[in-house]
């Protein structure tokens, strides 16, 4: 879901797909009415950013700004940014050059930078990027209307205040670029983990969990509007913990999953991201016991070597992670696991890299998001460790990881040939409007020919798989 790395995405069709889905723009191309104001928004980075853009759309809607897909006619151009790797920030700067050109053609257009890069660079942005009008961090989106109003008067504005409470619980997100079937629900914000490579604790602040009832209400509303799948989002969902201020009772992530699963048996639940140290047996049992909680866990390992994991401050060892993987497959033999992997972290040796490769095999990941280490200013690793693995070696190790994962994904998918799955139709396949694109519980994309006039997006159908690549399953409808 991290759309900052096209080279690697080219090698991973699942990521290409998610990148395209993720290009969040507004809905309208229609000519503007007199006095009407429109915003255009692009999002980069994680799913959380895409979800935040939907919150921003709602806040701006209340302030009289409607969405547009056309940046040339927008009054306000926004870019929701990612700082996770240097490449992500370079992409944002390139886009800002494009927006500068629009501003030259259409004087008066305002440009705003949102998200993690806004938080990281703060007012420096206004010095570095002269044509940026507003800079707003992830916890300050309620202030957008005031900042935009100031910018309309020619006053540049910055709000990068990080909150300990803000969860935007009461805001009803505007679903941008929605397929009408699947939606994200943000359940918590921030991160307290302090993995040494990661900038997120600095850009998104302290961890806080959103009111469980507001999450259930959002899921219910989505279901009533025809949505059939929700993904519960957080940097570390397994540490979700909400205390009801009225009763003092707490809701754990396993309990939250059960509450959302009860909305309707036809509403599928996914979640992301899990930290191996926090995922509990209770979560695994909740998944096993509810057919509508998808059998898929994104469980980033980062490295397969215990020394590197320690330097990364991941707080688990290779053995501990393997035990967790064993436990998942023991409780749910049909569960798919995916991962995030970093190649070439500080001081990583060839033998340690080999342990990452063997971990991919051991865990039998259905897919992974794979990166080479990119030092981020201000992180514990940048302060204490030397980024001493040469770029060529990082790239070579990454390529080996990608090659192995592609092969494992292919085998994982080929093992599904002959199996029958219940899948949720999301829309037309990209290649042909004669085929549907759907997903099974394990989060695999399944392509199959339509039966004339019979189904629509949001329907569950049964499909038997007859072929597979490393990224996609191909099936045939089983007639009911």
Q: Contact positions toward ligand SF4, by CB under 6 A?
A: 45-46, 48-49, 82-84, 115-116, 199-200, 203-204
Tell whether residue 198 is a contact of ligand 5AD (CB under 6 A).
Answer: yes
Q: Using CB distances below 5 to 8 A depending on partner kind, what does residue 66 bind out of ligand SF4, ligand 5AD, none?
A: none
Residue 73: cis peptide before it, omega within 30 degrees of 0: no
Rounded to the nearest whole angstrom, what is the least distance from the CB of residue 217 to ligand SF4 in the complex? 25
Q: Between 204 and 412, name the residue whose CB sits nearer to ligand SF4.
A: 204
Q: Shortest approach of ligand SF4 to residue 46 CB, angstroms?
A: 3
The entry of ligand 5AD, ligand SF4, none near residue 48 (CB within 5 to 8 angstroms by kind) is: ligand SF4
Cβ contacts of 317 within 8 Å, gap of 6 or more: 306, 309, 310
Q: Which of ligand SF4, ligand 5AD, none does residue 83 bind (CB under 5 to 8 Å by kind)? A: ligand SF4
Q: State which of positions 319-358 bind ligand 5AD (CB under 6 A).
A: 340, 342
Closer to ligand SF4 at the Cβ: 189 or 439? Answer: 189
Near ligand 5AD by CB under 6 A, which window of 10-18, 116-124, 355-363, 369-377? 369-377
**Angstrom distance (rounded) from CA 69 to CA 338:** 33
Q: Which listed option, ligand SF4, ligand 5AD, none, makes contact with residue 203 (CB within 5 to 8 Å by class)?
A: ligand SF4
DSSP strands (E only) in 170-321: 182-186, 188-189, 208-209, 229-233, 241-243, 250-252, 268-272, 296-298
- Residues 6+ positions from 302 with CB-CB distance below 8 Å: 195, 197, 308, 309, 312, 314, 340, 341, 342, 345
Q: Is residue 141 involved in binding ligand 5AD (CB under 6 A)? A: no
- Between CA 69 and CA 377, with CA 89 as vertex, the angle to 5 degrees is 150
DSSP annotation of 153 reads T
The residues in 50-89 that bind ligand 5AD, with binding defined as CB under 6 A, are 84-85
Least CB distance to ligand SF4 at residue 376 (A): 9
For the bound state, the minimum distance from the C-beta of residue 382 to ligand 5AD, rounded and expressed in Å, comes to: 9
Q: What does DSSP assign to residue 72?
A: G
Positions in 370-399 near ligand 5AD (CB under 6 A)? 371, 373-374, 376
Residue (of 60, 200, 96, 211) closest to 138 by Cα position: 200
Min CB(111)–ligand 5AD separation in Å: 27
d(CA 101, CA 78): 14
Measured from the CB atom, the residue of 71 and 346 that comes closer to ligand 5AD is 346
Direct distance between the N- and C-terminal alpha carbons of the chain, in angstroms, rounded to an integer: 35
3-state secondary structure 272-297: ECCCCCCCCHHHHHHHHHCCCECCEE
User: Binding to ligand 5AD (CB under 6 A): which residues in 290-309?
Assistant: 300, 302
**Shortest distance in whole angstroms from residue 368 CB to ligand SF4:** 16
CB atoms within 10 A of CB 424: 21
Minimum CB separation of residue 41 from ligand SF4 in Å reads 14
Binding positions for ligand 5AD, rule: CB under 6 A: 84-85, 197-198, 300, 302, 340, 342, 371, 373-374, 376
């Amino acid at each position: 879901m991290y759309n900052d790395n096209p080279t690697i995405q080219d090698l991973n069709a699942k990521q290409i797909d998610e990148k395209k889905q993720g290009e969040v723009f507004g809905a309208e191309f229609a000519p503007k009415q007199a006095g009407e104001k429109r915003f255009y928004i692009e999002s980069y980075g994680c799913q959380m950013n895409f979800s935040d853009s939907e919150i921003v759309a709602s806040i701006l809607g209340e302030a009289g700004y409607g969405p547009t897909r056309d940046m040339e006619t927008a009054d306000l151009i926004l870019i929701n940014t990612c700082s996770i790797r240097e490449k992500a920030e370079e992409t944002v700067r390139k886009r800002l050059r494009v927006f500068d050109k629009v501003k030259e053609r259409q004087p008066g257009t305002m440009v705003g930078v949102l998200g993690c890069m806004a938080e990281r660079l703060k007012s420096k942005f206004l010095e570095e990027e002269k044509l940026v009008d507003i800079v707003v961090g992830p916890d300050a989106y309620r202030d957008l209307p005031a900042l935009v109003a100031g910018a309309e008067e020619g006053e540049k504005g910055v709000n990068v205040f990080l909150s300990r409470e803000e969860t935007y619980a009461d805001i009803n997100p505007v679903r941008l670029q929605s397929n009408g079937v699947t939606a994200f629900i943000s359940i918590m914000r921030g991160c307290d983990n302090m993995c040494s490579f990661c900038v997120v604790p600095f850009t998104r602040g302290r961890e806080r969990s959103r009111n469980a009832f507001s999450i259930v209400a959002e899921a219910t509303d989505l279901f009533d509007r025809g949505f059939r799948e929700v993904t519960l989002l957080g940097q570390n969902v397994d540490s979700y913990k909400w205390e009801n201020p009225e009763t003092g009772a707490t809701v754990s992530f396993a309990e939250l999953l059960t509450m959302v699963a009860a909305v309707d048996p036809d509403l599928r639940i996914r979640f992301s991201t899990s930290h191996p140290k926090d995922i509990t047996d209770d979560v695994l049992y909740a998944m096993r016991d509810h057919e509508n909680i998808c059998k898929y866990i994104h469980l980033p390992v980062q490295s397969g070597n215990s020394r590197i994991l320690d330097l990364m401050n991941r707080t688990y060892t290779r053995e501990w992670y393997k035990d967790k993987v064993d436990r998942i497959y023991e409780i749910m033999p049909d569960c798919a696991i995916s991962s995030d992997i970093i190649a070439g972290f500080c001081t990583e040796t060839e033998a340690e890299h080999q342990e990452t490769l063997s971990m991919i095999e051991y865990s039998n990941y259905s897919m992974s998001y794979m990166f080479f280490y990119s030092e981020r200013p201000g992180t514990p690793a940048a302060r204490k460790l030397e980024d001493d693995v040469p770029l060529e070696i990082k790239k070579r190790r990454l390529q080996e990881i990608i090659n192995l994962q592609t092969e494992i994904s292919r085998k994982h998918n080929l093992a599904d040939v002959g199996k029958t799955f219940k899948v949720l139709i999301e829309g037309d396949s990209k290649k042909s409007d004669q085929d549907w694109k759907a997903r099974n519980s394990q989060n695999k994309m399944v392509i199959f020919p339509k039966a004339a006039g019979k189904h629509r997006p949001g329907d569950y159908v049964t499909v038997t798989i007859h072929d597979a690549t490393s990224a996609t399953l191909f099936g045939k409808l089983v007639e009911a």
